[in-house]
Structure 1
Amino acid sequence: MYPDHRPRRLRTTPAMRRLVAETTTTPRNLVLPMFVAEGLSDPRPIAAMPGVVQHTQDTLVRAAHDAVAAGVGGLMLFGVPERRDATGSGADDPDGVLNRALAALRSEFGDDTVIMADTCLDEFTDHGHCGVLSRDANGRERIDNDLTVQRYVDMALAQAEAGAHVVSPSGMMDGQVGAIRSALDAANFRHTSVLAYSAKYASALYGPFREAVGSTLVGDRKTYQQDPANAREALRETRLDLAEGADMVMVKPAMLYLDVLREVAAEATVPVAAYQVSGEYAMISAAAANGWIDRDAMILESFTAIRRAGADIVLTYWAAEAAAILR
C-alpha cells in the first residue's frame, strides 16, 4: 500500500534541493548587454525595457563597475551614434561611439572582465539594415552579402584595436566568421575571440531593442535572419561557423527557441551562448508590474530553463541585478 520509490525525499529541504540540483546558474554564466549613445548628458531610459538605459560614456563605466563587482562574466556593448549613413561608416571609426566606449572599458578593466562588441551595422546605417544595400539584376534592392562581410571585417578590426576581447558578428551573412577570423589573424589579433550569432532568428521579440538603438529600419530582416519555422537550418549554420573558426556560438532569442538551443548545444564543440532578448525582458517586466508573476522568481527560473537547455552563457539585461541575487 506504500510506494517503493520516494523521489520526494530529495526535495525535503532547501539544502537538499541545492545539493541535488542538476542545473545551476552563477554570476559568471551571465553577460550584460549595454547601450552607449552619443549626444547624451544623462542616461536615457528605454520605455519598453524598464530599468535599462542608453548610457553616456561616463555612466557606462560606472554601471560596468557595478556589474563586474557583482561577478558577471562579461559585458556586451552596443553603440548608438548620432549620425548614420548608407554603409555605416561610424562602425569602424576609431572615434565612433562604440569604439571609444570599448577603449574606455578596456582601459578601466584590462583583463578583469570579458569585453564583447556587437559586430553589426544596423545601429550605424541610415536604412537600419544589418548590411550594405545594392540592387540585383532585376533592380531589386537587397543586402549585398559580400560587401557587408567586408564591412564586418573592418568593424571587427576596429573593435579589436579598441580593446574588445570578443567580436560578435550578428548579421547572419554567409562567410562572416571565416572572413573575420582570417582578418584578425592577419592583423596579429590572434587572441581576439569570435562569438558567432549562429542561429539568429527573424523574431517578433526584438521590438524593444529597436527603441534601445533608435533603429531606422523599415521592413524586416527575413532575407538574412533565420525563419522561426526552421530548426535543422540552425544546425547547418552552426556547423559552418564552427568550420570557419568560431570560438563560441549563439542562439537568439533564447526562451522561445529552447529546442534549437538544445540541438545546437549537442552539436557544438565550443561554448554555447543564448541571448534573452529585449522582448523576453519586456514580457516578464510587464507581467511582474501587473502583479501577475513573482518577478525575481521568474527571472531566475528563466535562467534555469536556458541553462538546462544547454547554454553555457546567458546574455540578459538582468545580469548585474541577478548576479547580486545569486551571490
Structure 2
Amino acid sequence: MSFPIVRHRRLRRTGGLRSMVRETVLSADDFIYPLFVTHGKEVKEEIPSMPGVYHLSMDLLEAEIREIAALGIKSVLLFGVPDYKDAHGSSAYDPNGIVQEAIRAVKGWAPELVVVADTCLCQFTDHGHCGIVHQDKATGVAVVDNDQSLELLVRTAVSQAEAGADVIAPSNMMDGFVHAIRAGLDEAGYSDIAILSYSVKYASAFYGPFRDAAHSAPQFGDRKTYQMDPANSREALREAESDVAEGADMLMVKPALSYLDIVKTLKEQFDLPVVAYNVSAEYSMVKAAAANGWVDERSIVLEKLISMKRAGADMIITYHAKDAVRWLKGE
C-alpha cells in the first residue's frame, strides 16, 4: 500500500508520539568525560582553544570529580600534563607521576567512578611523539621505534593499573600494543583490568586543540607513520581485528564525527563495545560557532552526540558531557 494509506507523519504528530517511537536515546551512562590534570596549586587554567575545558591541579580536581559524579556521569578519562619531559617519557610510567597520582585520588573521592587512563607517551616526551625515537641508520631520518616503544607503554599501563585505574586506554597506535599491554598486565597480576584500545585512530586535523591541552604537539614531523590515513576504511577493519585477537575489551574510533561510517562498520563486524571519541576540534568548532550566534549550542551538540550513538557507539568520550547531561535533564 502507498500514500494516502501510509502516512509516516502520523507518528511525528506530537512530542509524546515522537518520544514513544524514538529509536536512539542518549543518557548520562553513555558518556566518558576527559580531564587534564597538572601539577601546582590552585590551577584552573582554561584552554584557549577549548572554552570550558581546563587544566586542573590536584587540589581543585576533587570538586570537579564530585560534580561529575553528582551529574550521573559514570566515567572519566584522565590525561596528565607533567612538570618535566624527556626523550623516553619517563614521567608516564613514574609510580608518582601526575596520572598515577590523579587515579589514586579519584578512586578515593568517588570509588564508583570508572577511571580510564590514557596510556601514551606523547605528553611526556620532549619530542612529542608516541614512542621512542631514533635515527634510521640507512636514511638518517628520525623514526619511532615500534618494539622499543612497547616496553615503555607496558610499564606505563602497569603503573596506572597499580594506581587503581579500572580501564587502560592505549592511544599510541604501535603495532602489537594491545598484545604487549595485555601480557604485561596479566603478568603483573592485573588480568581483570580492561583495555579500551584506540583501535582506529586517524592522523587527523581534528586534534589541534587537544595538542594545546596536552602540550603534546610533535616537535618534528607528524604521526602519519603510525596513525591511520583518513582515506582508508578497510584498513580500519584490519586494525580492529588485530586488537580483538590481541585481547582488547573495547574498541575505539577517533575522531568520531567524520568517521561515523567506521563506527558503524566496527559495530557490525565485532561484538565488543564500540567507543567514539568526540575530539577537541569537533568540540571547539561548535563552541566557536555558538559564541558567534551562528548555531544553537544545545541543539547541535545533542544532535551530534545522537548521531554517534545511532551509528553504533556504545559510549562516547566527549568534552560536552556535563552540559549534555544537564540538557538531557531539562536544565
The bucket for the TM-score relative to the shorter chain is over 0.9
Alignment: residue pair count:
326
The yes-or-no answer on 1:136 pairing with 2:131 is no
> 2-side partners of 1:85 and 1:324: how far apart?
41
Aligned to 2:50: 49
Aligned to 2:63: 62
Kindly tell me: are residues 159 and 2 of structure 1, through their superposed partners in 2, closer, same or farther at Cα, counting changes over 3 Å? closer
> 2-side partners of 1:83 and 1:279: how far apart?
26
Pairwise CA distance, 1:13: 1.2
Pairwise CA distance, 1:135: 2.1
Aligned to 2:117: 117
The yes-or-no answer on 1:265 pairing with 2:267 is yes
Aligned to 1:251: 253
Aligned to 1:79: 80
In structure 1, the residue corresponding to 2:61 is in which secondary structure? helix
> 1-side partners of 2:276 and 2:3: how far apart?
44
| 1:139-196: CA deviation from partner (whole Å, max 9, x where unpaired) | 2210000011111100000000001000000010000001111111111111110000
> 2-side partners of 1:133 and 1:314: how far apart?
32
Q: Which of 217, 220, 226 in structure 2 is aligned with 1:224?
A: 226
Q: Aligned partner of 1:197: which letter? A: Y
Moved more, 167-176 or 37-46: 37-46
Pairwise CA distance, 1:61: 2.0
In structure 2, the residue corresponding to 1:236 is in which secondary structure? helix
Pairwise CA distance, 1:60: 1.8
> 1-side partners of 2:41 and 2:252: how far apart?
31
> 1-side partners of 2:62 and 2:147: how far apart?
35
In structure 2, the residue corresponding to 1:161 is in which secondary structure? helix
CA RMSD of aligned residues (A): 1.2
Pairwise CA distance, 1:134: 1.5
> 1-side partners of 2:8 and 2:194: how far apart?
44
Aligned to 2:316: 314
Aligned to 1:90: 91
> 2-side partners of 1:2 and 1:164: how far apart?
57
Seq. identity, %:
48
Aligned to 1:235: 237
Moved more, 163-172 or 213-222: 213-222
Matches within 5 A, 1:104-253: 104-110=105-111, 112-138=112-138, 139-218=140-219, 219-253=221-255
Kindly tell me: are residues 98 and 2 of structure 1, through their superposed partners in 2, closer, same or farther at Cα, counting changes over 3 Å? closer
| 1:22-79: CA deviation from partner (whole Å, max 9, x where unpaired) | 1111100000000001235321110100000001112222111111111113100000
Moved more, 149-158 or 262-271: 262-271
Pairwise CA distance, 1:2: 6.3
In structure 2, the residue corresponding to 1:79 is in which secondary structure? strand
In structure 1, the residue corresponding to 2:78 is in which secondary structure? strand
> 1-side partners of 2:259 and 2:190: how far apart?
33
Kindly tell me: are residues 122 and 266 of structure 1, through their superposed partners in 2, closer, same or farther at Cα, counting changes over 3 Å? same
Pairwise CA distance, 1:320: 1.6
Gaps of 5+ in 2: none
> 1-side partners of 2:17 and 2:195: how far apart?
40
> 1-side partners of 2:72 and 2:211: how far apart?
28
Pairwise CA distance, 1:136: 2.2
> 1-side partners of 2:323 and 2:95: how far apart?
31
Contact kept, 8 Å, 2:38 with 2:80, in 1: the verdict is yes
> 2-side partners of 1:317 and 1:95: how far apart?
27
> 2-side partners of 1:133 and 1:109: how far apart?
38
Gaps of 5+ in 1: none
Structure 2-normalised TM-score?
0.96
> 2-side partners of 1:65 and 1:30: how far apart?
16
Kindly tell me: are residues 326 and 166 of structure 1, through their superposed partners in 2, closer, same or farther at Cα, counting changes over 3 Å? same
Q: Aligned partner of 1:249: which letter? A: L
Q: Aligned partner of 2:243: which letter? A: D
Contact kept, 8 Å, 2:40 with 2:58, in 1: the verdict is no
